[in-house]
């Protein structure tokens, strides 16, 4: 099985979860893991909230794989920002291709939990519109993002239909 994990992480929580998921998937096959990096990060909390809430995109550094067609499983990881996906993930979702008939899993990390559902739905809609047929999801509270037992139990649930 070939898996593609694509994620954005500003302060490292989503990266911890991405690495746990990569470890699990490496036991089943090949894993490509890529972190989205904006050419310019928005540094202020309010700026980040405003950009996410209004659906902004960010210009990403090169070297990102957008073609999902060589993979069996596609994972998209994102922190919840102001009830929404981050600009880097929006940009990635604009460019993703080859999703037709693919299985996908969305993983988000969050603080208070406000807006988790809305953020996941935003990502799910784009994946569905691009032909992904089976979309699982997991949401990990920020204090649990490096808890491998917890994350793997959520991941199992996300993978079962």
Ligand X SMILES: Cc1cc2nc3c(=O)[nH]c(=O)nc-3n(C[C@H](O)[C@H](O)[C@H](O)COP(=O)(O)O)c2cc1C
Q: Are 90 and 56 in contact (CB under 8 A)?
A: yes
- Residues 76-115 binding ligand X (CB under 6 A) are 79-83, 109-115
Assess 45 for contact with ligand X (CB under 6 A).
yes
Bridging pattern class, strands 73-79 and 103-110: parallel
Looking at the Cβ atoms of 71 and 81, the one nearer to ligand X is 81
Q: Which residues, at least 6 apart from 60, have a Cβ–Cβ distance to it below 8 Å?
A: 36, 37, 38, 39, 88, 91, 92
Stretch that binds ligand X, among 32-40, 73-81, 123-131, 148-156 (CB under 6 A): 73-81
Pick the piece of the chain touching ligand X (CB under 6 A) from 4-12, 56-64, 68-76, 127-135: 4-12
Q: Per CB under 6 A, does 10 bind ligand X?
A: yes
For ligand X, give the closer residue by CB, 24 or 49.
49
Residue 32 CB partners (closer than 8 Å, separation 6+): 2, 3, 4, 5, 65, 71
Contact status: 11 vs ligand X (CB under 6 A): yes
What's the helix, strand, coil split of the chain in %, to 5? 40, 25, 35
| Residues of the shown chain interacting with ligand X in the complex, contacts defined by CB under 6 A | 9-15, 45, 48-49, 79-83, 109-116, 142
């Amino acid at each position: 099985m070939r898996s593609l994990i694509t994620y954005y992480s500003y302060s490292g929580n989503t990266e911890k979860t991405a690495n746990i998921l990569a470890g699990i998937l490496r036991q089943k096959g090949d894993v490509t893991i890529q972190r989205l990096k904006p050419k310019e990060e928005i540094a202020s909390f309010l700026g980040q909230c405003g950009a996410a809430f209004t659906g902004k995109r960010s210009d990403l550094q090169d070297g990102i794989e957008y073609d999902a067609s060589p993979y069996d499983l596609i994972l998209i990881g994102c922190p919840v920002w102001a009830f929404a996906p981050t600009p880097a993930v929006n940009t990635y979702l604009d460019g993703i291709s080859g999703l037709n008939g693919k299985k996908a899993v969305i993983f988000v990390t969050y603080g208070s939990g406000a807006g988790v559902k809305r953020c996941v739905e935003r990502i799910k809609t784009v994946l569905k519109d691009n032909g992904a047929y089976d979309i699982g999801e997991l949401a990990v509270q920020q204090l649990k993002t490096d808890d491998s037992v917890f994350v793997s139990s959520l991941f199992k649930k996300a993978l079962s239909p």
